[in-house]
Amino acid sequence: MAKITLQGNAINTNGDLPAVGSTAPDFHLVAGDLSDKGLADFAGKKKLVSIVPSLDTGVCAASTKVFNEKLGGRDDVAVIIVSADLPFAQGRFCEAESTADVTTLSMMRSRNFAKDYGVLIEDGPLAGITARAVLVLDADNKVLHAELVPEIAQEPDYDAAIAALG
């Protein structure tokens, strides 16, 4: 269990992020076309996995736009944004914000991703959705970088995540 804050108030997650050097757990999340997606769908690429509570918040929107801008056009990297938002809302966000270089995936069918990655918020007003976190995986899904953002209202360390991609 990790402790984070929401506007200075302590809340807890169900566990810990996968450790650097470990293999990231596979997942089954929902894409915009309502198909299931897992790590195998991004085989052969490095992956930046940005886990956000909801794209309908300023910080989540900002971080998605920054990763889209800084990593867009890199054929060797898949930028994956995971949130509790429905795929339809994720699609509207990407269209409105011109973030075509990210792949949004939804937890609409299950919270197993949040549980397996240790980011499921267990208490407080955001219980049931995710903490903010960023993982960088190599092409074989080995964790190269893991950041659980300590305060949900803060943006992640973009430079550290991008540096881990090489």
pLDDT digits (tens, 9 = 90+) for 113-124: 999 999 999 999
Bridge partners (DSSP) listed for residue 49: 80, 135
State the pLDDT at residue 1.
Answer: 87
Both structure tokens of 93: 């966000």
pLDDT digits (tens, 9 = 90+) for 54-98: 999 989 999 999 999 999 889 999 999 999 999 999 999 999 999
Catalytic residue positions, numbered: 60
- Residue boundaries of the structural domains of the chain: 3-165
For residues 58-83, b (16+ Cβ closer than 10 Å) or e, as one string?
ebbbebbebbbebbeeeeebbbbbbb
Indicate if the pLDDT at residue 35 is higher than 90.
Answer: yes
State the pLDDT at residue 85.
Answer: 96
CATH topology of domain 3-165: Glutaredoxin (3.40.30)
Q: Say what the pTM is.
A: 0.95
